């Protein structure tokens, strides 16, 4: 007489001793039945049928739709050879496996939820702080910005010295990295004080290059290139935000918010083209990242580039639409820029700069072999992880407003 075990609606691996089914000497007692099913099969029935010399496995679809985990085991054999103790022990082990896997799954879900709450909480806190700094402008904005630049520069040079990048090149000496971080931090302050930093950046690059060339040992071109790029990436490019926020001091005359702005906080003159342009740029970048994330999760199929495997063309297109839409809506609220085509172009430039900056930092981290540039911000990583989308965008936004908008878009 044939003996078989039938498992219905099982989403786990169950190990049952073969001796629990039949104690016949022709079947070795050391064998076990291993039953594999998919983790969440909506409609599945597995039947293992043992005949004396061989066994067959039959899998067929059924009309059973399960929304919960359940194990059902039925053993049939000759009454003389049925070992109830071993059968019960095997089924108990299967139940323990279910409970163990469920507890691990629940623990992972709780950890992800905790990380998401932490990420949202710190993100909101950072957003409120940055909004206040942008509204304050002047030295408050510049000093806070210089502090962020210093931390970002330190993270960059640590990435350059990491095992992944240093394995293929010679990193700059540590003292040069520290000096460059300080130089990058002073660049926004010099930009506010002098209005431009072209001469300062050129002089700093010359001094750093001479220090590298005259160092002891064997100077390498990789040291020079990574250091000069660090001055450009972490120091020169961020200074355009200071030029945009503090340099474009023409009043945004058509902005309705400025009319009702308290005199103690600066009144109407406080609302300049630089302030409005900075607020719109920051908001559109946040919208681009948010919509790209949502679009990628919902529709993402086609990979954008191998630099960042999680980015997709579908998410990028959704992010572009969200960025332009946010720019247009805010342009209507602030009445700047006055014309719709200008707002659309401004939104496109903001999006292009944010994507390019994000991919650049992803390439650096990939070569360094790290996931985050640092651990300063819980749930977010380092400073570079948060501001990578802003590094190139400031230069594009300032150039567009300064060069292409008649009367700065007023």
Q: What is the CA radius of gyration of the chain?
A: 32
Give me the number of domains the chain comprises: 2
366/394 same-domain check: yes
216/290 same-domain check: no
User: Which residue among 202, 218, 247 closes a domain?
Assistant: 247
276/360 same-domain check: yes
Whether 195 maps to a domain, the answer reads yes
158/286 same-domain check: no
The 3-class SS string of the chain reads CCEEEEEECCCCCEEEEHHHCCCCCCCCCCCEEEECCCCCCCCCEEEEEECCCCEEEEEECCCCCCCCCCCCEEEECCCCCCCHHHHHHHHHHHHHHHHHHHHHHHHHHHHHHHHHHHHHHHHHHHHHHHHHHHHHCHHHHHHHHHHHHHHHHHHHHHHHCCHHHHCCCCCCCHHHHHHHHHHHHHHHHHHHHHCCCHHHHHHHHHHHHHHHHCCCCCCCHHHHHHHHHHHHHHHHCCHHHHHHHHHCCCECCCCHHHHCCCHHHCHHHHCEHHHHHHHHHHHHHHHHHHHHHHHHHHHCCCEEECCEEEEEHHHHHHHHHHHHHHHHHHHHHHCCCCCHHHHHHHHHHHHHHHHHHHHHHHHHHHHHCCCCCCCCECCCECHHHHHCCCCCHHHHHHHHHHHHCHHHHC
For 99, residues 6+ apart whose C-beta sits below 8 A from its C-beta are: none
321/223 same-domain check: no
The proportion of the chain whose per-residue pLDDT surpasses 90, expressed as a percent, equals 43
Whether 59 maps to a domain, the answer reads no
Whether 62 maps to a domain, the answer reads no
Whether 279 maps to a domain, the answer reads yes
Whether 29 maps to a domain, the answer reads no
Whether 103 maps to a domain, the answer reads no
Whether 118 maps to a domain, the answer reads no
181/312 same-domain check: no
State the sign of the Cα–Cα–Cα–Cα dihedral 84, 86, 91, 93. positive
208/322 same-domain check: no
With cut-offs at 50, 70 and 90, classify the pLDDT of residue 115: confident
pLDDT value at position 250? 87
Is residue 391 over pLDDT 90? yes
Name the β-bridge partners of 45.
8, 60
pLDDT value at position 39? 44
148/207 same-domain check: yes
Which conformational region is residue 34 in: left (phi greater than 0), alpha (psi within -120 to 50 degrees), or beta? beta
pLDDT value at position 368? 87
177/294 same-domain check: no
354/386 same-domain check: yes
pLDDT in tens, 166-219: 776 788 888 999 999 999 999 999 999 988 888 888 888 998 999 888 888 788
pLDDT value at position 218? 81
218/149 same-domain check: yes
281/349 same-domain check: yes
| pTM (2 d.p.) | 0.72
Among the ranges given (104-108, 235-239, 286-290, 381-385), the one the predictor scored with the smallest mean pLDDT? 104-108
Among 40, 20, 43, 42, smallest CA distance to 32 is for 20
pLDDT in tens, 8-66: 444 444 444 444 444 444 444 444 444 444 444 444 444 444 444 444 444 444 444 43
Whether 66 maps to a domain, the answer reads no
Is residue 94 over pLDDT 70? no
- Residue span of the structural domain in which 405 resides: 266-409
């Amino acid at each position: 007489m044939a003996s078989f075990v039938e498992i219905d609606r099982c989403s786990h691996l169950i190990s049952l001793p073969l001796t629990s089914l039949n104690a016949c000497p022709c079947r070795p007692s050391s064998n076990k039945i291993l039953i594999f099913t998919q983790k969440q099969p909506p409609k599945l029935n597995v039947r293992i049928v043992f005949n004396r010399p061989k066994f067959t496995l039959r899998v067929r679809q059924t009309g059973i739709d399960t929304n919960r985990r359940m194990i059902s085991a039925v053993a049939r054999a000759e009454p003389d050879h049925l070992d109830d103790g071993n059968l019960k022990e095997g089924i108990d082990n299967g139940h323990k496996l279910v409970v163990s896997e469920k507890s691990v799954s629940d623990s992972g879900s709780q950890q992800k939820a905790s990380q998401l709450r932490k990420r949202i909480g710190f993100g909101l806190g950072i957003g409120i702080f940055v909004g206040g700094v942008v509204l304050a402008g002047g030295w408050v904005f510049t000093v806070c910005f210089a502090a962020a630049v210093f931390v970002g520069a330190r993270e960059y040079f640590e990435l350059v010295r990491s095992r992944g990048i240093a394995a293929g090149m010679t990193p700059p000496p540590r003292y040069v990295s520290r000096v460059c971080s300080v130089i990058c931090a002073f660049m926004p302050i010099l930009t506010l004080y002098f209005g431009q930093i072209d001469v300062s950046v050129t002089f700093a690059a010359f001094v750093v290059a001479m220090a590298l060339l005259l160092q002891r040992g064997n100077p390498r071109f990789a040291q020079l290139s990574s250091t000069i790029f660090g001055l450009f990436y972490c120091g020169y490019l961020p200074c355009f935000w200071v030029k945009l926020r503090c340099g474009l001091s023409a009043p945004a005359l058509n902005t309705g918010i400025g009319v009702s702005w308290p005199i103690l906080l600066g009144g109407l003159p406080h609302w300049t083209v630089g302030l409005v342009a900075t607020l719109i740029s920051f908001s559109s970048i946040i919208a681009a990242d948010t919509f790209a994330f949502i679009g990628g999760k919902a529709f993402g199929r086609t990979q954008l580039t191998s630099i960042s495997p999680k980015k997709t063309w579908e998410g990028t297109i959704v992010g572009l639409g969200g960025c332009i839409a946010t720019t247009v809506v805010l342009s209507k609220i602030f009445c700047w820029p006055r014309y719709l085509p200008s707002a659309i172009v401004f939104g496109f430039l903001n999006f292009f700069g944010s994507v390019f900056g994000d991919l650049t930092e992803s390439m650096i981290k990939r070569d360094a072999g790290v996931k985050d540039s640092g651990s300063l911000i819980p749930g977010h990583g380092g400073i570079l992880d948060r501001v990578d989308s802003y590094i190139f965008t400031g230069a594009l936004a300032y150039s567009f407003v300064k060069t292409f908008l008649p009367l700065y878009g007023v």
